[in-house]
Structures are given as structure tokens and as C-alpha cells.
Amino acid sequence: MEYQAADSRYASMEYRRCGQSGLLLPAISIGLWHNFGEAADLGNCKHLVQGCFDRGITHFDLANNYGPPPGSAEEVFGSILRNSLGRYRDELVISTKAGYFMWEGPYGEWGSRKHLIASADQSLKRMGLEYVDIFYHHRSDPSTPLEETAQALTSIVRAGKALYVGISNYGMEETLSMLAFLQAEKVPCLVHQMRFSLLATEQAALLDVLSQQGVGAIAYSPLAQGLLTGKYLHGIPEGSRAAGGSVFLTPVSVTEQVNKRVARLAEIAQARGQSLTHMALAWVLSRKGMSSVIVGASNLSQIDDNLMALQNLVFSDQEEAEILQVISDF
């Protein structure tokens, strides 16, 4: 049976303006990474993507190296577009990135014009698209002049391969320089994608600057790779990410200090009438200038649970003070 999107898909999602642009993003976006690799069950991936769209999640975030192996997440998503979701292309915001290692040789990573334009072409081919909505430089390159990277991003937009450009994992100095270069090219930076959560607030100052500059912000890993679900408070469960050899969350990461902080945050969440997961997402979304958070999921029940965070995004002054105290104490 041909997929027919739910008529109610826009009924309950909150959409937020991305910086000073005309683009609205859903408060919760979906990242297609580890669960969309070559070994993933295509039927489950299709069910998840369709279900997300039925719930008003219009933004699907990828990168050239997502998988594993690199490129396979884009291929899986491309297959879903061809077989069901493609008819709704104009209702979707599809983003991808380049900058981390993707192929062998001196042009397979970083920020050169050679790498970025080749990567954009490869990504479009894998997904079967004429353009992506947002094309990101995935990380700043200490060896390539930022002006060259900015000119490459500009070329990608002017060639019709992307509607907007963004940056990710940039520090303060590199961000300000890139914003100036892109503005000079008259292709302003739409959005900065950053790691941001109750356990990772290092970019708080940058978030303020982006807001002042009219650039949107979007957070990845808002649940700190699962630490802010509370699942690790009593040890590392079998089959969990930390137990499964994840590069980004290892048993060493689950320290006593981290668990003390998480336990205190869980107490604040309980007093608010929220789960820790819901409060963690709500707190990130309550930051000024935050357009969306990117969550990962392997099934729709996880998505439905995450969406419950949108029911309470308001923090009292006392709650805000308590949370900031926990953050500063550790």
C-alpha cells in the first residue's frame, strides 16, 4: 500500500524560526546516524521515518559519513525517499554535512573546496536528490583558510545543490570569522549545529553570540548519549550504548561524579512533574536562540516519549537557579 502521510501531522508540533531566516524547524528533529547503517532493518527505518513525519517532524539530519559504513545512512534514507516519502519532498527539510573522514587520500576530509563540493555531489547521488535544504561544514579545518571553505559553501548554494549553509562543531573564533566570510559572499550562515545538553554547556557563550547575530542554533546529543535518561544511575545495563563499545560513550564516561549530577537533576525533574529525559530536552529548547534539538531513535515509542517534553518548556526562576547550581557544582 502506498504511504499516505497523516492528515494531522501538523496539529501538535511546535515550529521555530531558525535565526532571522524564513525557515521554520520542528522543535524536535530526527538524526539518522547509527540506526541507519548498512546493517539496519530497512523496514524499521522506513517505519520510523514515516512515523516521524506523521508526527510533524519535518527535519531529517544526516552527514556524508553516517552509517556505518560511511555513506550508508544517506543510501538508506534515499531508498525511503524513492519508495514512499519522496512525494512529500517539499514538506521536508533534509540536511547533510561534510568535513570528517569519508574517503581515502588527501581530499577525503576537512574543509577544502575540493572535499566539500565533491562530498555534496556524492551525498546528492546517494539520496537521489537535486538539492539538500541545509549543507553543513561538519568541523573547522585548522589547515584550510576559512575563506576558502566559505567560498565553497557559497558555490554549493549558487549551484542549486543546497538552499542554506550551516556550520557544526566550530569554536567561537572560527564561528565569528565564518559568519563574516559568508555574509561578505551574501550567503549568510543559517544555523550552527552544536553539542549541547545539561552535561555539555561549553557552548553557552557561543549560543548567546549566535542569537545576537541572527543565526539559528540546533543541538545534537541533548541527552548526552543517553546519560540524561537516567539509565546509567545504577550501573551500565547490558546492551546499552556504553556497554556496546560506542566510541562516544564508554564505561569510563559513566563516572560517580556524572551520576551524582544526573541524580540531582532527576530530583529537579521529578519536582517539575517531568521525567529526566523530558526535562533535559525542555531545558535545551528553552535556551534563547535554540531552534531545535536532534534526537536519535530506533523505534517510534522513543520518538513519542521525546515529544512529551514539548508539554512543558517553561522553567521558573527557582528551577533555573537549581539547575544552574547543579551544573556549576560539578
pLDDT at residue 25 is higher than 90: yes
Terminal C-alpha separation, the chain: 53
For Cα atoms 191, 289, 324, give the angle at the middle one, nearest 5 degrees.
Answer: 125
CATH 3.20.20.100 is the classification of domain 15-230+276-314? yes
- 178-212 pLDDT, tens digit each: 999 999 999 999 999 999 999 999 999 999 999 99
The H or E element containing residue 103 is none
**pLDDT of amino acid 111:** 98
Measured distance CA(281)–CA(278) in Å, rounded: 5
Look at residues 139, 134, 135, 136 and name the one whose alpha carbon lies nearest to residue 110.
139
pLDDT at residue 65 is higher than 60: yes
- Residue in this structure with the C-alpha cell 515529544, named with its chain if needed: 307
pTM: 0.94
Supply the angle between the helices 204-213 and 172-184 in degrees, to the nearest 10. Answer: 20
- Residue in this structure with the C-alpha cell 588527501, named with its chain if needed: 106
* Mean pLDDT (whole number) for 241-252: 50
Question: Counting beta carbons within 10 angstroms of the beta carbon of residue 58, is it exposed (0 to 12), middle (13 to 18) or buried (19 or more)?
Answer: buried
User: Is residue 245 very low, low, confident or very high in pLDDT (cuts 50, 70, 90)?
Assistant: low
| Minimum mean pLDDT range among 89-93, 190-194, 247-251 | 247-251
Contact (Cβ atoms closer than 8 angstroms) between residue 307 and residue 55: yes
Length of the chain, please? 330
The C-alpha cell of 308 is what?
Answer: 512529551
